[in-house]
Structure 1
């Protein structure tokens, strides 16, 4: 009697169903709405809406027909309410009371002032490297100008206050088929990104933040299936084969992209459904199709929005002379390429001197704000907000943890005093 057929490790890995991840419930972020930024953001969003009036999803042109690519069509509901603007550092699954309390205790234990000091040290080293490269370049091109180069004062000096400007417009995942449009935070001191990266990594190391997507795990599994286990003499008897390693390894952090989402098509209501696939109807049934927009000209316009360095004179209209083959790079940086052949670019400014003085843990899912409360006027301006579960100051030596707010109809923690 023959025994049952056993699957090879490669077959086992191929048929392995990855464990379903728990739902995301909270996220770590830096709020961007305050008394300085709110009126600026209101004006900027109004300008954006005037240039790209949102269109009801039912009135969107047929995707199968050729579109006028000189204007991006923004679906109604995709422009995010002012009260939701923030910089996300990572998402968390804190589905139990115990897990939430663990995250809050960890949040309270962090030395934010120490992280900021380390961020300043990193920023200073980067500035020194930039100055050194500039001096070296100047020496190569103009040897007699080295003294004048060294005497140029440093324009981006650190201060006790961390503030940014929100500039330009970028996209995800790609310009020709964008689903998210976002502004970039520009910090002249260079401290924001290293601070956020270190804070994000602290939460990752403690196991609270999600490190990678399911697609990334799937890709790693597929890569593992194409690799042969190393010989025992090289890897040792206790080494993991590539299939087991792909299932048990620690998640790798995603690259940190600091961005303030202005448009997200996932919030557009009435999105069309996928047509049922005749081969695998269950796979596509009732699955909403994510709306995409061709944002190439829109990104180019907001990247070079003003005609003057003071950023007071907008350039007229959209650039409708782009050829169909022109591509705008994904997530292009607002800083233009250097070189005498390229004129300086003056990107759109959504808000400037936005002070960042708190770090928050918020619940997923923005809530509409009540217009029948004592804060009706402010709530009407904000539209929606995320419920703040915990907040810490970046300036005060003593930090505090906030309890759950009683209602989503309050001021949402927006400091307008």
Structure 2
């Protein structure tokens, strides 16, 4: 057994799925072009196995372990009890200059304004040293903090119910695009993770729009560990969905 593994690894995660019928074509194209660009012989030295398959993209809200004290069934009950529209309505919006009230004006119907949409733009490193990176992610655009507030509201319910631990740090919403933990047979001395110099690729993809205005359809509990599958004749991976609640 590997003794450097934490004993209490999480078994499940709470997330907003990003792969929907409307987003999949956008994400497939973006990731395919990215993979060709950064993994090729003239690319940026990122191993192909590190670029995540389309079907794995999501925004993690938190993780938990199915064990003695709390069962998966309890977590699913909490999920099914969520009132997503109420949580979203409860998000405090900043007052924009030149408007009255919270959230500001803007065009579009009330129904359209109430919908929560996600645009993934840019590329950031999870590590402080961009010259030694193991994880790169696409952050969601969220100028008013509406998505952040909603996600924190959902997570708080699970923390209050004792399903998840309070982590003591802000929730960082991120869609993982590159993770070198998935690169096989390339561990360095003492088994440390592969790292790449990502300074140039981060600069190049600073304004990359991976997907735009994709409506959030709900929240899921998924099991850790993506499984391989074939979709439309293409190899992909996805996580097993244990339960879902929709808007």
Smaller-chain TM-score range? 0.7 to 0.9
Q: Are residues 1:365 and 2:225 paired? A: yes
- Supply the distance in 1 between the matched residues of 2:125 and 2:182 (Cα, whole angstroms): 16
List aligned pairs for 1:16-415, cutoff 5 A.
22-53=8-39, 72-95=44-67, 99-119=71-91, 122-123=92-93, 126=94, 128=95, 130-131=96-97, 154=106, 159-174=113-128, 175-187=130-142, 190-212=145-167, 252=168, 254-274=169-189, 287-303=190-206, 347-369=207-229, 371=230, 376-377=231-232, 380=234, 383-394=236-247
Q: TM-score, normalised by structure 2?
A: 0.85
- Supply the distance in 2 between the matched residues of 1:359 and 1:22 (Cα, whole angstroms): 24
Shift of 1:77: 0.6
CA contact (8 A) 2:82 2:245 kept: no
Pick closer, same or farther for the CA change 1:202–1:98 going to 2, 3 Å. closer
- Supply the distance in 2 between the matched residues of 1:26 and 1:198 (Cα, whole angstroms): 19
Write out per-residue CA displacement over residues 210-250 of structure 1, whole angstroms, 9 at most, x where no aligned residue: 434xxxxxxxxxxxxxxxxxxxxxxxxxxxxxxxxxxxxxx
CA contact (8 A) 2:70 2:163 kept: no
- Supply the distance in 1 between the matched residues of 2:202 and 2:12 (Cα, whole angstroms): 30
Write out per-residue CA displacement over residues 92-151 of structure 1, whole angstroms, 9 at most, x where no aligned residue: 0013596111111222223322111102xx12xx1x1x427x9xxxxxxxxxxxxxxxxx
Shift of 1:271: 1.9
- Supply the distance in 2 between the matched residues of 1:205 and 1:196 (Cα, whole angstroms): 14
Pick closer, same or farther for the CA change 1:98–1:169 going to 2, 3 Å. closer
Counterpart secondary structure, 2:14: strand
- Supply the distance in 1 between the matched residues of 2:70 and 2:153 (Cα, whole angstroms): 25
Pick closer, same or farther for the CA change 1:87–1:160 going to 2, 3 Å. same
- Supply the distance in 2 between the matched residues of 1:164 and 1:114 (Cα, whole angstroms): 19
- Supply the distance in 2 between the matched residues of 1:75 and 1:291 (Cα, whole angstroms): 9
Unmatched 5+ stretches in structure 2:
1-5
Instruction: Please tell me whether Structure 1 or Structure 2 has the larger radius of gyration of its CA atoms.
Output: 1
CA contact (8 A) 2:52 2:176 kept: yes
CA contact (8 A) 1:27 1:361 kept: yes
- Supply the distance in 2 between the matched residues of 1:155 and 1:288 (Cα, whole angstroms): 54
- The equivalent of 1:242 in structure 2 is none
CA contact (8 A) 1:36 1:353 kept: no
CA RMSD across the alignment? 2.6
CA contact (8 A) 1:164 1:188 kept: no
CA contact (8 A) 1:163 1:187 kept: no
Count of aligned pairs: 235
Unmatched 5+ stretches in structure 1:
1-19, 56-69, 135-151, 213-251, 275-286, 304-346, 395-417
Counterpart secondary structure, 2:49: coil
Richer in helix (by share): 1
Pick closer, same or farther for the CA change 1:54–1:80 going to 2, 3 Å. farther
